[in-house]
């Protein structure tokens, strides 16, 4: 296939580029580099089967020749990014999704929308199945991301139902791995550099808020399987193993050999920040035969090595 990946210079987008090239497809990566970096794809430069286009996907998109699949991963994704870039986040979820769906329709390509567990908001059901409609504050500070992704899902299904586009929707839960940005603001790129510098890890509040962490290669494998499937409605992809932020910090200290411990700060909770997050992956397991394979310790070890060379 000839595949277009928007956000192709980002953390997940660049890993997708690697996956599709490894499977024998050719890849066009599109990114305006607002949060992505050419560092993530520099190892692909010069390949005949890879093309990078610097472009904002909210503008008209022209791709010469056939396109067999479009994967829409362009968007700020961390709270720091989408709170600093609220208008851009809304635009890429709305206008950008419209542009890439139009391209998929024109090319007769299958389409995959990168959605998020944030469509569930601060959930009142745990773990979260795809049938849960969510608990989202549309005018809160996180609403720019939550509602952009919810709108993108609605538009994706509209193009499927009205235009017959072969669409897929993946709801991505917390994912980590090499190529995350140091200044990302999420817990993995916050904790690991602190540990490698021999500093105590900063835990806010009681540290009992929970998250589940999926290593990037597992997520990419699930996305690839979803694109190749016949499923059109949303599918959760994530690791259902849940642990507290305090437990996560203790694990990173142990793996890095950091003896500085943990320092507790007053809770710095962003309004509407979810207290729990864990995917119900029954659908992914049943329909795709997918489940995560990389253990937390294995994934963190690889991620720590990446950050060791970056700080």
The residues that are catalytic are 145
Q: For residue 250, which phi and psi values (nearest 5 degrees)?
A: -65, -35
Report DSSP state, residue 199: P
Q: β-strands 201-204, 26-31: how paired?
A: unpaired
Phi/psi region, residue 49 (left: phi>0; alpha: psi -120 to 50; beta: rest), is: alpha
Cα dist from 234 to 20, 21, 130, whole Å: 21, 25, 6
Name the token pair of 199.
């500093």
Cα dist from 67 to 2, 63, 104, whole Å: 5, 8, 8
Q: β-strands 242-244, 210-212: how paired?
A: antiparallel
Report cis status (omega within 30 of 0) of the bond before 127.
yes
């Amino acid at each position: 296939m000839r595949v277009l990946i928007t956000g192709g210079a980002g953390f997940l987008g660049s890993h997708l580029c690697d996956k599709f090239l490894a499977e024998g497809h050719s890849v066009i990566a599109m990114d305006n580099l607002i949060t992505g970096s050419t560092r993530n794809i520099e190892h692909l430069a010069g390949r005949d089967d890879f093309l990078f286009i610097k472009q904002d996907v909210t503008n008209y998109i022209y791709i010469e020749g056939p396109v067999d699949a479009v994967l829409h991963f362009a968007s700020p994704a961390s709270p720091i990014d989408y709170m600093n870039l609220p208008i851009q986040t809304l635009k890429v979820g709305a206008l950008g999704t419209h542009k890439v769906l139009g391209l998929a329709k024109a090319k007769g390509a299958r389409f995959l929308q990168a959605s998020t567990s944030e469509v569930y908001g601060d959930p009142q059901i745990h773990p979260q199945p795809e049938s849960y409609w969510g608990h989202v504050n549309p005018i809160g500070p996180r609403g720019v991301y939550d509602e952009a992704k919810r709108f993108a899902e609605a538009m994706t299904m509209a193009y499927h139902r009205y235009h017959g586009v072969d669409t897929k929707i993946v709801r991505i839960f917390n994912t980590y791995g090499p190529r995350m940005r140091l200044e990302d603001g999420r817990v993995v790129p916050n904790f690991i550099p602190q540990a490698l510098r021999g500093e105590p890890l900063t835990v806010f509040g009681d540290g009992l808020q929970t998250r589940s962490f999926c290593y990037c290669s597992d997520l990419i494998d699930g996305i690839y399987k979803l694109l190749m499937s016949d499923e059109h409605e949303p599918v959760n992809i994530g690791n259902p193993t849940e642990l507290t932020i305090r437990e996560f910090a203790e694990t990173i200290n142990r793996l890095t050999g950091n003896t500085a411990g943990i320092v507790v700060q007053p809770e710095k909770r962003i309004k509407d920040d979810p207290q729990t997050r864990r995917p119900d992956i029954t659908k992914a397991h049943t329909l795709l035969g997918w489940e995560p394979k990389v253990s937390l310790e294995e994934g963190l070890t690889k991620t720590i090595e990446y950050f060791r060379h970056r700080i």
